[in-house]
Structure 1
């Protein structure tokens, strides 16, 4: 670590997460070698601040998540421009944990694996109504419609994502099978629509701590009796607010729920947890691929973004990779049914055929 100018001891003592992040963004400090490995080395020290986030939780206010505020938070991160994300994501434009079946899988292959893994878990049938809450750039709903013959609705709060999904629906001639709407999941309840299958990948992290019970309850209301839902999200061991640097610069309004928090709310809403799988090391590798792609496209990114943004994004991708490798977060897929469903396969064998 290179220290280019004096760091405020007061800032470090008050909030080392924010102090470290802003110091790197402003080039007050710099790193030689792998940022990911440097941060991992701090995580390996059990007495480091990275392992004592609870000591700073009094600084972290629990933010409100009105529909208007949620839309603004999503726009902050996801409306940076499709051209920006296209530079370093894979061809599917999947911005969530991939699934590496083999060491030699490319990021693109791993993202296709992830989508197929999820669709197999959902046990789809032709004609099923599938809802994707936080549908991203649409790869999952388009694949589900083409391969499994479902009628799919994707919802998002990102204008840029809606634009891209609409283009892809038209390109694939799926206007009668796939739809995308700019709408909050809470607003969807007012339509009275019900779905046989509901999936959500990497969206729950934006719901907020206070809204976890609301989100789970609304999924239950939107799901037909006997319906199946898969929730794919980052998880924490215990409940705590994300650090201020992440909330200020990367994911305003973000919150990572604990497994027990989610399982409790599922039980309270007649959602039976039938499968739970950790993909932690898959996310570490996904983030390493994104960080590498980001650096390989730096000349093009410099034409779009300033140096402070580039340093911020570099730290975000590498710090997240370190967090999944040696840190305090995980990513899980929760598979639930509304009430009992005896048609779900009794083993996981079908997932690996």
Structure 2
């Protein structure tokens, strides 16, 4: 055990950018850094050194889930401190512990992977999402914007970027709970189709369409985007869906957009990006199986290969950090209700997920970009960005 203690003390000595306290299973503790202690890492039992060395992200993530490790203080602060210490070996290994080209997101696997995350119950998501049930990055025009306002801002921002005209057709790939397609139909009188692989989302969107009396303008289908046949759209949008496609299928995504767009049609892609492509192994195992965060160069390359004309690229990194902070707070406030149906391991897993993602965006480990691109030479597009902000 003495050897184990030496290993842990050596490992944690230069791990974080802030002053912290490390407490081991035998009650011994040590403070690293100078000044006020920002948080405490508590090991309730030793964790095999081989597991830490092999995959620190997965090992520490599972240890927190199962209470082998406790954190006294802000979980988000701990992970930001880890990422902000660029000299730490964990700063890099925890970002993308593996390149996940192993999982093939064919039609069967894609549906299974989406169901794993999104079909755990609308009631669960309703407890901590905003009033619009939007599960993607908000757009904060002001520090005082509520989460609901930020999500409405985001939808408005996207719809303005697409420069929708009455009577146009719009496809939303991965439509979530339907806020975007319903807003598009109500505000711009376009004919909107949303597609999803989640039965729970399908049920909710169908209910919303009927409630809004929008059956003539809006439809939703449970279908993989690759299975859409004999349809063409003036505009195509995808928000937070590409992360589920997988590295092996990025080219297929852009091929499909090319097939589904009319000539001169416009598409907006809103997705998480990295400096390099990959994924965190803990996230892949417990949160988003089959997921892959693409490098921005992969996406621009994919658009270029299909001869798409890239018109606009915008980074919304800090907007997603704040969105996740809202979700994390809402999640904690909803714990009395969540505990009625979820166990403590699940709760700690989701707490870690939400806080770790907030930390990742705030520290710049990952970004989120909106890409606006079109098929063919379209000289009718707006010349400046003014139309996006009117």
- Classify the TM-score, shorter chain: over 0.9
Give the alignment's Cα RMSD to 1 decimal.
1.3
1:103/1:54 CA distance change after superposition, 3 Å: closer
Q: Deviations over 1:51-94 (max 9, x none)?
A: 32399756855211110000000000000100000000001100
2:317 maps to 280
> Is 1:311 equivalent to 2:351 in the alignment?
no
Q: CA–CA distance in 2 between the matches of 1:12 and 1:253?
A: 23
2:379 maps to 342
Q: How high is the TM-score relative to the length of structure 2?
A: 0.88
Contact residue 220 and residue 270 of structure 1 kept, 8 A: no
- The aligned length equals 350
2:363 maps to 326
Q: Deviations over 1:25-55 (max 9, x none)?
A: 0000011111101111111111223432399
Looking at both structures, which has the greater relative contact order when contacts are Cα pairs under 8 Å and sequence separation is at least 6?
1
Q: Deviations over 1:163-221 (max 9, x none)?
A: 00000000000011100000001101xx2100000000000000000000000110011
Q: Which of the two has greater helix per residue? A: 1
2:126 maps to 86
Q: CA–CA distance in 2 between the matches of 1:327 and 1:312?
A: 22
User: Could you list the runs of 4 or more consecutive aligned residues of structure 1 that deviate by over 6 angstroms after TM superposition?
Assistant: none
> Is 1:232 equivalent to 2:270 in the alignment?
yes
Aligned positions of 1:1-353 closer than 5 A:
1-53=41-93, 60=100, 62-188=102-228, 191-239=229-277, 241-353=278-390
Q: CA–CA distance in 2 between the matches of 1:174 and 1:216?
A: 30
Q: CA–CA distance in 1 between the matches of 2:355 and 2:118?
A: 19
Q: CA–CA distance in 2 between the matches of 1:92 and 1:55?
A: 31
Q: CA–CA distance in 2 between the matches of 1:156 and 1:59?
A: 26
Q: CA–CA distance in 2 between the matches of 1:229 and 1:247?
A: 28
Larger Rg: 2
Structure 1 gap segments, 5+ residues each: none
Q: CA–CA distance in 2 between the matches of 1:63 and 1:217?
A: 20
Contact residue 205 and residue 254 of structure 1 kept, 8 A: yes
1:339/1:244 CA distance change after superposition, 3 Å: same
